[in-house]
């Protein structure tokens, strides 16, 4: 089995790396900024100092970090992954970042004789823990086939959607759909609740019709039960919608509802909710309505 480097053991990355360890892979991370969790160490996670050392010790390097600058730093910063690569290695970025930057990162890594896949995911913390993530991959067929057995330990719906950067473009599209659906569910529950209906029973009824969705199921319940501990933080969804709006501007495309939903996320962040789960968007609508769903 190929040795895997895994950089970024946060809310998503930790359970993803755990599944690889459970499958028998040797997994190596960097302890440069923080010590790995005890449960991953107990499963066999190895730690070295610096991202370059991770690259030297492994065959495939996976990154799962918050944003474009962090990927840039992991790859090309001081003691970065690029400085530890040798020909034939594979770098996989499973973060959600700029498609434009991804093209440049891939070109630089390819120039070192290595392959590059952008493979962002959808499914949040729940999907990461259940190994049921949707994985949207940009890159060439050969490295995709090499990585597929690894992806299958972390996700269920795995698709090679096109060349490098198309995986990230697909993730941006995904985040538009998710954000607008969260907003629609929030509007519906605020409306129903203020009209005097029991929002839990309204949600239950809607789950049996055309309005049914995974977001109504999971995030609708969060809105009603007020469980806003993050599976996916508002500040990260703001980042993703910024990518959508920046891309739309460069393409000459109008995304009016994406823009409106971003303003609602901005309102939440301005009121101290940046680290809430993105279902916390409902709070912006509740403030405008003068009424809480619960």
Q: Which residues are catalytic?
A: 171
N-to-C CA span, the chain: 51
Residue 174: Cβ within 10 Å count: 17
DSSP for 137-180 reads EES-HHHHHHHHHHHTTTEEEEEEEESTTHHHHHHHHHHHHHHH
CA distance 61 to 150: 11
* 291: helix, strand or coil: coil
Structure tokens at 54: 């991770």
User: Comparing C-alpha atoms, which of 175, 174, 193 is closest to residue 282?
Assistant: 193
Angle between helix 166-194 and helix 199-206 axes, rounded to 10 deg = 130
User: Comparing C-alpha atoms, which of 133, 214, 135, 207 is closest to residue 178?
Assistant: 214
* Cβ burial 180-203 (10 Å sphere, 16+ → b, else e): bbbbbbbebbbbbbeeeeebbebb
* 12: helix, strand or coil: coil
Is residue 279 within 8 A of residue 232, CB to CB? The reply is: no
φ, ψ for residue 91, nearest 5 deg: -110, 130
CA distance 282 to 286: 6
Is residue 168 within 8 A of residue 118, CB to CB? The reply is: yes
């Amino acid at each position: 089995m190929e040795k895997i480097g895994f950089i970024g053991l946060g809310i998503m990355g930790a359970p993803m790396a755990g599944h690889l360890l459970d499958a028998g892979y040797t997994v190596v991370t960097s302890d440069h900024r923080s010590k790995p969790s005890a449960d991953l160490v107990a499963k066999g996670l190895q730690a070295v100092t610096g991202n370059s050392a991770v690259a030297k010790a492994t065959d495939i390097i996976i990154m799962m970090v918050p944003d474009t600058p962090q990927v840039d730093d992991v790859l090309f910063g001081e003691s970065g992954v690029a400085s530890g690569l040798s020909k034939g290695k594979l770098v996989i970025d499973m973060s959600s970042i700029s498609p434009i930057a991804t093209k440049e990162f891939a070109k630089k890594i390819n120039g070192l004789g290595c392959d590059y896949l952008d493979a962002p995911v959808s499914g949040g913390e729940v999907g990461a823990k259940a190994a049921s993530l949707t994985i949207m991959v940009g890159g060439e067929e050969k490295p995709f086939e090499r990585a597929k057995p690894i992806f299958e330990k972390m996700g269920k719906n795995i698709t090679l959607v096109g060349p490098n950067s198309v995986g990230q473009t697909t993730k941006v599209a995904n985040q538009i759909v998710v954000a607008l659906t969260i907003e629609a569910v929030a509007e519906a529950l605020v409306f129903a609740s203020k009209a005097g209906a029991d929002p839990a029973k309204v949600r239950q009824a809607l789950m049996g019709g055309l309005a049914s969705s995974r977001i109504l199921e999971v995030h609708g319940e969060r809105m009603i039960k007020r469980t806003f501990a993050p599976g996916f933080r508002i500040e990260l969804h703001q980042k993703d919608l910024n990518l959508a709006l920046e891309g739309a501007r460069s393409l000459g495309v109008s995304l009016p509802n994406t823009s409106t939903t971003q303003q609602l996320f901005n309102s939440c962040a301005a009121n101290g909710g940046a680290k809430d789960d993105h279902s916390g968007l409902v709070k912006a609508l509740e403030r405008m309505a003068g009424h809480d769903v619960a």
